[in-house]
Amino acid sequence: MESFVVEGGRRLEGSLRVDGAKNAALPILAACVLTEDEVTLHGMPDITDVHRMTDILCMLGCSVQREGHDMVVSGREMCRSEMPDGLSKQIRSSIFMLGPILSRFRQATVTYPGGCEIGMRPIDLHLSGLRALGVAVQEEGGVIHCDGAAMHAGEVHLDYPSVGATENVMMAAATLPGETVIHNAAREPEVADLAAFMNACGARVAGAGSAVITVTGVRRLHGAAYTPMADRIVAGTLLAAAAITGGDVCLTGAPAGHMHAINAKLREMGCDVAEDADVIRLTSPVRLRAFPLLQTQPHPGFPTDMQAQMLALLTTAQGTGVVVENVFENRFTHAGEMNRMGARILCAGRTAIVHGVSRLTGAQVTARDLRGGAALVLAGLAAEGETRVDNAAIIDRGYERLERQLSALGAEIRREHAL
């Protein structure tokens, strides 16, 4: 097992370029199988979730070449419509393969996906969306068989604007003759990025980024070269790291236009956040002040993937702040770990109340989910003494060598292998 060891108390300063977005890269990789032609992807984040997705593509018979942050994917030789069981359980995004495989083979078999332990994360919305397109779904023993022989374009209404379900239906509909309309679609910018990629491959997707998406089926998709959008959550995490250390950091290549909710909260805490095109500069006060309330919501509300990092900021802020997690039902596992560092957080159901303390102290803590793990690293940056965050692997799922990024800004952090 690997851990991050953080020596707290260093003020972060400097400039860093933001990586490509995990949540754009993963569905885009899945969408590569919509075409038999070669797809070239630039600026792909070097994170383990992308590695696992690549493994899945290879197991299905695709060829994937990677050089640095560039990837070339070819689905020409793809031969299987069954998802490998072990890998599906390791990564929730494996469910994204359902739509593209159905589009390609008109049948697909997947096992229930895995992912972070942040809630039940059912896939009923994915399945009901596909059923609305004429897919016959049979579930038995944790395996889902989808028969798409009678697939057709149609009207899909999602009971909740699920990001993954929206993306799956969009991909499944790409080659269905006629017009598919997705109502109550997720409005996350990564959904729009997937649509832009699909359109670069010849698909006809309109309205992505709004609550109504129209997919006009085309006969076939072709290859393309594409660069996924930058990661707003990685950017937000780095800004939060600067904020918790009283720092002054500049991010380049940042998706500033999609970070209003995050930047507004940072300003509420007393940070100066200046945006200029794709550059964001954050200057932090000596001590942050608590915001009264943060509620996570689907986009354009405050992103659940930044909740844990904001909770970390509250731990040492002046005053008391309340955080309500509306998207996932079990996303406060980091709170107990932060309390081991001297934080004062009370959790009840989906609500956390954080009383800011004047200092945290280093401790040995465990990362239990991706963003919660990153938040523990942030707490470590602000704590007195040494903090050891165990289970670094879960953080590597979504951050490319976080220790290097933070070190580049002046943090004292290293990766250690457990003895």
| For ligand UD1, the closer CB: 199 or 304 | 304
374, 402 Cβ separation under 8 angstroms: yes
| For ligand UD1, the closer CB: 10 or 92 | 92
| For ligand UD1, the closer CB: 112 or 328 | 328
60, 72 Cβ separation under 8 angstroms: no
Amino acid at the residue 187: R
269, 243 Cβ separation under 8 angstroms: yes
- The CB-of-248 to ligand UD1 minimum distance in angstroms stands at 29
| Residue 252 phi, psi (nearest 5) | -110, 160
**Which residue in the block uniquely carries the two structure tokens 């903090």?**
387
3-state secondary structure 133-170: CCCEEEEECCEEEEECCCCCCCEEECCCCCHHHHHHHH
Binding site for ligand UD1 (CB under 6 A): 23, 26, 92-93, 119-126, 160, 162-165, 186, 190, 304-305, 327-328
- The CB-of-305 to ligand UD1 minimum distance in angstroms stands at 5
- The CB-of-164 to ligand UD1 minimum distance in angstroms stands at 3
Q: Which entry of 116, 146, 201, 271 is annotated as an active-site residue? A: 116
**What's CA 379's distance to the chain center, in Å?**
21
Among 85, 45, 39, smallest CA distance to 68 is for 45
- The CB-of-325 to ligand UD1 minimum distance in angstroms stands at 10
320, 360 Cβ separation under 8 angstroms: no
From the number of C-beta atoms within 10 Å of its C-beta (0-12, 13-18, 19+), residue 277 rates as exposed
Among 331, 352, 333, 355, smallest CA distance to 344 is for 355
Degrees, nearest 5: CA angle 183-371-51:
80
Answer yes or no: 116 catalytic: yes
- The CB-of-21 to ligand UD1 minimum distance in angstroms stands at 9
Both tokens of 236, joined, read 């937000």
| For ligand UD1, the closer CB: 125 or 133 | 125
| For ligand UD1, the closer CB: 3 or 93 | 93
- The CB-of-412 to ligand UD1 minimum distance in angstroms stands at 29
Answer positive or negative: Cα dihedral of 95, 96, 101, 107. positive
Which residue lies nearest ligand UD1, judged by its C-beta? 164
- The CB-of-70 to ligand UD1 minimum distance in angstroms stands at 21
| For ligand UD1, the closer CB: 53 or 317 | 53
- Separation of alpha carbons 162 and 147, rounded Å: 23
- Separation of alpha carbons 50 and 397, rounded Å: 8
Amino acid at the residue 351: T
| For ligand UD1, the closer CB: 12 or 167 | 167
Active site positions, annotated:
116
